Structure 1
């Protein structure tokens, strides 16, 4: 029911009851009755909604109070409603000083019973209306500026997960966000925070309620002296980069893409690469979080170190991150070198490459002996960037075009020679070629060999600002599973990362898995965030991150389903053979609980307890969110104690 309709019902009931007596009829004959009664109700509502204005409460806009128009009848009604109270100091400020002195008015007991009970009824109706509007639910539900219509469809970037939230909120300000969190707490409705929808596992999705932070994207402060930036959580990484440029600053590291929102970037433990560089959450200096039980709190190393370290990588369960302060570094250019190596050479040079390069990335191509090695280091002052002969773009991609054209001739699909103009980028071309037979191991092997040839023709150098060099094209829609595991220290790598890759590639060969390339391998140092996959108190610890993929190059539902099933078989084989021996744990944005049975869920929970302070994490969840409004299926599966407590 809309506000205006609700007030019509209230006034109609009030007037009907009041008109049943002569005294009441006399009151109704005064011109100010409706005005006075409106002020009574308005006063009750303003107690609960101090930020509202007359227009939002169903009254004519431009009228702040009509009490001063007919003070006598208005005072008479207010006196009665307050049940004989001699002073009205508790009334909201909008009523003005003319309402302060009512001592001379007759107490309710001196009024006829019919009038007294009419006014009792009005008071009850007023309280009911006040209670209705006192909960943030109705107000937020009707506020189209932050809540969309019901039953929207939300999908992640790869279109592998979707949600149909009944309530989808779009806060623009901290105040909006606080109202939404209060709404969820009062109504016990789920409100999972979500950002750009890039997480492969749809971590922020819920079919009940979601909060999209995209409109809270302001850059608040850049402190050039401290080399810090404070932004709202919905700000994208590329926005942060642009805001830092005038100050000669940049972020220390980047994940593969810059469309991520800062809130999601830190909450899932996103990372770039560099043996001496931690994941992004470690560079959070402080953060402002909106919670159901503690309101809006600011967390830092000084204010509450335990909760701060839990909440930095909190999976959106310890409140909704509203603002983040990040430590930055001076802006700098990088020289990137791309070379093609093999397993033997990697074993020989791996330790040296880890220690000598600020950023190091390997791309392993299954069914070949090719390892693409990408090294990036700062361009030193006065250093001349390396130059090389410009290469022909068509020559770089010729190997993949040859496979495409051959498949066209064999299958009679498409037109030969047009793929380059249509696809434009190599990853898009690879998708086009894989689409002919994405689950045929022989076809995938041929595509991988063409990719190896592409990289041999694409070796060399390039120079650019760090944010330009460190981002790269991940390819099209895909299933992905990325794990993180310890690999010694920066000074003493233990080579377990290379042994992991040897076993993984051999597993693919033995099982004839249609595994496309590349399998990306990166490194970071540790994070002090308790729930980070790279969590460790020692800053010298080295962690390796390895991601397996299967692309989804088609829109055909049956083919996508077949690829999905094949990928989960692939992931299951890696999980069974490699996770425990290497202490590998999945990236939080890539943990999947699809079709998980009871035994598998229990196994996953027991593994998490061995690696993370799950008891402390769940305890903090219960204290901050006792009604479980920040949960979803994935969170409930991994942390069932949280689910059990919040349903009590």
Structure 2
């Protein structure tokens, strides 16, 4: 019987009266309470009582009920719950002798004055109401207040290019918290986009309705040294994972540029490092625990559900909220990094060899110069003598940029010359300071790029350190960025399309006189079996190149930032129009932008996605797992409108 029906029966018996029996036992007589109601009372309200007689359905000895009689729902029975005295030793303290004597001494309720009698009725109603309220799902939504901020907050991404004002901002600390949040979102059809460290340039995890910040679910759960695997909660940061692996002599195979990324966000957007034989991070996911609206909390792996597993590894936060991740690790190792300055001719000559001979390879192209910064990293072999490291003369290395800064100060009369900040300032910070004078003046940007080329000529040499120290790097301050991924042959047979892409890109910048700052970063990975990865391919030998264009935002002035934003989207649009289709290039999911996109552009984007990714399977899985669309936002709805259309219906 449901609680509402039970209390309907109980309330019908308000004429119940307390009386004294001949043995001093109190009798609660409910003339309108059926056996079914008593049955629920016996099973629920008296569940804590020890039962000695199986015939009384949970009632202790000394409490009689009509349960021994055959229930007859068509006939009301006069029943009594008698608090006997014969077996008081079996009763809990609540039903001890003192309590019974107190009840026995009470006058019948019917004989009390009306004000007192109705006060008692009111107290009974209030008690029942409170019990009902806290015994229903309503109370669970109230509990969510401890992990939910309801005041509107402003959430921004790292570059301050996107912001959201979620009405509900959840901060789960446990798996149970997360499960409640997802259930509540499903019941109320309230959007709850999962978000990590807020580093995605496009604000992929943002929503103005509801967001789930995973930062408090950051525990390291298991380190399996035999399998070389680590299981962590999705909110754990990459640098936390590194520290947890150190005592066990393990580390992650590869790293993106920023170690503050959370593991969940790292895999969901297909983040990557560099290395022709090393896949993106999502390929190293062995299994994952995901909280979904329709299937509850599920564990996905290659063995349990390979199709959904490969879709969900790079699922953009739409196939459930990732709660736990198991990652494949490698033995901890040191790397020797060599930085050299080359040019287009030399790169074209040595590119295949460099790809095959170096574990990690990265190019940094500087527009309007013939400088290509080549960074090669390889394991320090046992017994190998470390090469002489670079000299620590940061002030001398950034002198070229400081000279440009001082010259601009003299010409414009803004700021002060000298070396006030020179020694404490990193090169990227110094570059931002100089660019801020005229970030959209092509001639000024060209001068800054030449100063950067000089900086790198002074910065060649070797560096030795643990892999996580070497592979992360300072990618500059706030910026707009667009990074694309495209096939470039195989590791054994690179097809040189990656170098041709760069030749055309640099020529496009020159022809259009685009104020493109340096560097344009180029990296490589092998393929991923994750269906929605930009590097998705069933062959592990497939080679993919990643190229990122940028425009820095070195100012807080809103008008200047807006002008830079418009210039960047013109830059990105030119690259998109001239290079994406010829090279089969697709954007990194954390860098896809739908800003001010019109209907035709949106349709073009959707049709392109269908050519590269299993969109129908992806949308089908979304609908099955999240039929009410609680994991969507504007970007997801723009790229996958069928998903939104189905949930609206």
Q: Which TM-score applies when normalising by structure 1? A: 0.83
Q: Is the contact made by 1:81 and 1:123 (CA closer than 8 Å) also made in structure 2?
A: no
Q: Alpha carbons of 1:578 and 1:180: their partners in 2 closer, same or farther (altered >3 Å)?
A: same
Tell me, in whole angstroms, the C-alpha distance in 2 between the residues paired with 1:49 and 1:201. Answer: 59
Identify which range, 45-54 or 474-483, moves more after superposition: 45-54
User: How far did 1:74 drift?
Assistant: 25
Identify which range, 562-571 or 120-129, moves more after superposition: 120-129
Q: Alpha carbons of 1:153 and 1:6: their partners in 2 closer, same or farther (altered >3 Å)?
A: farther
Q: Alpha carbons of 1:131 and 1:30: their partners in 2 closer, same or farther (altered >3 Å)?
A: closer
Q: Is the contact made by 2:394 and 2:423 (CA closer than 8 Å) also made in structure 1?
A: no
Q: Is the contact made by 1:23 and 1:115 (CA closer than 8 Å) also made in structure 2?
A: no
User: How far did 1:254 drift?
Assistant: 0.2
Tell me, in whole angstroms, the C-alpha distance in 2 between the residues paired with 1:520 and 1:494. Answer: 19
Q: Alpha carbons of 1:473 and 1:386: their partners in 2 closer, same or farther (altered >3 Å)?
A: same
Secondary structure of 2:554 counterpart: coil
Q: Alpha carbons of 1:107 and 1:12: their partners in 2 closer, same or farther (altered >3 Å)?
A: closer
Q: Alpha carbons of 1:626 and 1:384: their partners in 2 closer, same or farther (altered >3 Å)?
A: same
Secondary structure of 1:409 counterpart: helix
User: How far did 1:393 drift?
Assistant: 2.1
Superposed CA offset, 1:200-228 (max 9, x none): 00000000000000000000000001000
Q: Alpha carbons of 1:327 and 1:72: their partners in 2 closer, same or farther (altered >3 Å)?
A: same
Q: Is the contact made by 2:341 and 2:457 (CA closer than 8 Å) also made in structure 1?
A: yes
Identify which range, 103-112 or 610-619, moves more after superposition: 103-112
Q: Alpha carbons of 1:457 and 1:422: their partners in 2 closer, same or farther (altered >3 Å)?
A: closer
Q: How does 1:235-254 map to 2 (within 5 A)?
A: 235-254=236-255
User: How far did 1:516 drift?
Assistant: 0.3
Structure 1 stretches of at least 4 aligned residues deviating more than 6 Å after TM superposition: 1-132
Identify which range, 420-429 or 577-586, moves more after superposition: 420-429
User: How far did 1:274 drift?
Assistant: 0.1
Q: Alpha carbons of 1:101 and 1:86: their partners in 2 closer, same or farther (altered >3 Å)?
A: farther
User: How far did 1:139 drift?
Assistant: 3.1
> Number of residues paired by the alignment?
648
Q: Alpha carbons of 1:408 and 1:77: their partners in 2 closer, same or farther (altered >3 Å)?
A: farther
Q: Alpha carbons of 1:33 and 1:278: their partners in 2 closer, same or farther (altered >3 Å)?
A: same
Tell me, in whole angstroms, the C-alpha distance in 1 between the residues paired with 2:265 and 2:601. Answer: 27
Q: Is the contact made by 2:63 and 2:83 (CA closer than 8 Å) also made in structure 1?
A: no
Q: Alpha carbons of 1:578 and 1:73: their partners in 2 closer, same or farther (altered >3 Å)?
A: closer
Q: Is the contact made by 2:17 and 2:29 (CA closer than 8 Å) also made in structure 1?
A: no
Q: Is the contact made by 1:7 and 1:58 (CA closer than 8 Å) also made in structure 2?
A: no
Tell me, in whole angstroms, the C-alpha distance in 1 between the residues paired with 2:274 and 2:62. Answer: 58
Q: Is the contact made by 1:80 and 1:116 (CA closer than 8 Å) also made in structure 2?
A: no
Q: Alpha carbons of 1:124 and 1:56: their partners in 2 closer, same or farther (altered >3 Å)?
A: farther
User: How far did 1:148 drift?
Assistant: 1.4
User: How far did 1:392 drift?
Assistant: 2.5
Identify which range, 516-525 or 66-75, moves more after superposition: 66-75
Q: Is the contact made by 2:290 and 2:322 (CA closer than 8 Å) also made in structure 1?
A: yes
Q: Alpha carbons of 1:503 and 1:69: their partners in 2 closer, same or farther (altered >3 Å)?
A: farther
Q: Is the contact made by 1:18 and 1:118 (CA closer than 8 Å) also made in structure 2?
A: no
Q: Alpha carbons of 1:452 and 1:191: their partners in 2 closer, same or farther (altered >3 Å)?
A: same
Superposed CA offset, 1:602-621 (max 9, x none): 00000000000000000000
Identify which range, 444-453 or 12-21, moves more after superposition: 12-21
Tell me, in whole angstroms, the C-alpha distance in 2 between the residues paired with 1:518 and 1:181. Answer: 42
Q: Alpha carbons of 1:411 and 1:423: their partners in 2 closer, same or farther (altered >3 Å)?
A: farther
User: How far did 1:390 drift?
Assistant: 2.4
Tell me, in whole angstroms, the C-alpha distance in 2 between the residues paired with 1:463 and 1:246. Answer: 20
Tell me the equivalent position of 1:297.
Answer: 298
Q: Alpha carbons of 1:468 and 1:576: their partners in 2 closer, same or farther (altered >3 Å)?
A: same
Secondary structure of 1:144 counterpart: helix
Q: Where do 5+ consecutive residues of structure 1 fail to align?
A: none
Tell me, in whole angstroms, the C-alpha distance in 1 between the residues paired with 2:196 and 2:610. Answer: 28
Tell me, in whole angstroms, the C-alpha distance in 2 between the residues paired with 1:425 and 1:597. Answer: 40
User: How far did 1:188 drift?
Assistant: 0.4
Secondary structure of 2:78 counterpart: helix
Q: Is the contact made by 1:147 and 1:168 (CA closer than 8 Å) also made in structure 2?
A: yes
Q: Alpha carbons of 1:601 and 1:22: their partners in 2 closer, same or farther (altered >3 Å)?
A: farther
User: How far did 1:42 drift?
Assistant: 15
User: How far did 1:337 drift?
Assistant: 0.1
Q: Is the contact made by 1:21 and 1:115 (CA closer than 8 Å) also made in structure 2?
A: no
User: How far did 1:424 drift?
Assistant: 1.2
Secondary structure of 1:29 counterpart: strand
User: How far did 1:395 drift?
Assistant: 1.5
Q: Alpha carbons of 1:420 and 1:113: their partners in 2 closer, same or farther (altered >3 Å)?
A: closer
User: How far did 1:138 drift?
Assistant: 5.6
User: How far did 1:394 drift?
Assistant: 1.8
Q: Is the contact made by 2:25 and 2:82 (CA closer than 8 Å) also made in structure 1?
A: no
Q: Alpha carbons of 1:124 and 1:357: their partners in 2 closer, same or farther (altered >3 Å)?
A: farther
Q: Is the contact made by 2:395 and 2:423 (CA closer than 8 Å) also made in structure 1?
A: no
Tell me, in whole angstroms, the C-alpha distance in 1 between the residues paired with 2:63 and 2:455. Answer: 72
Q: Is the contact made by 1:68 and 1:98 (CA closer than 8 Å) also made in structure 2?
A: no
Superposed CA offset, 1:441-467 (max 9, x none): 000000000000000000000000000
Secondary structure of 2:223 counterpart: strand
Superposed CA offset, 1:100-132 (max 9, x none): 999999999999999999999999999997886
User: How far did 1:149 drift?
Assistant: 3.1
Identify which range, 589-598 or 67-76, moves more after superposition: 67-76
Superposed CA offset, 1:20-61 (max 9, x none): 999999999999999999999999999999999999999999
User: How far did 1:423 drift?
Assistant: 5.8
Superposed CA offset, 1:374-427 (max 9, x none): 000000000000015625322111100000000001111111113534861000
Tell me, in whole angstroms, the C-alpha distance in 2 between the residues paired with 1:42 and 1:638. Answer: 56
Secondary structure of 1:419 counterpart: coil
User: How far did 1:508 drift?
Assistant: 0.5
Q: Is the contact made by 1:140 and 1:147 (CA closer than 8 Å) also made in structure 2?
A: no
Tell me, in whole angstroms, the C-alpha distance in 2 between the residues paired with 1:180 and 1:88. Answer: 46
User: How far did 1:546 drift?
Assistant: 0.3
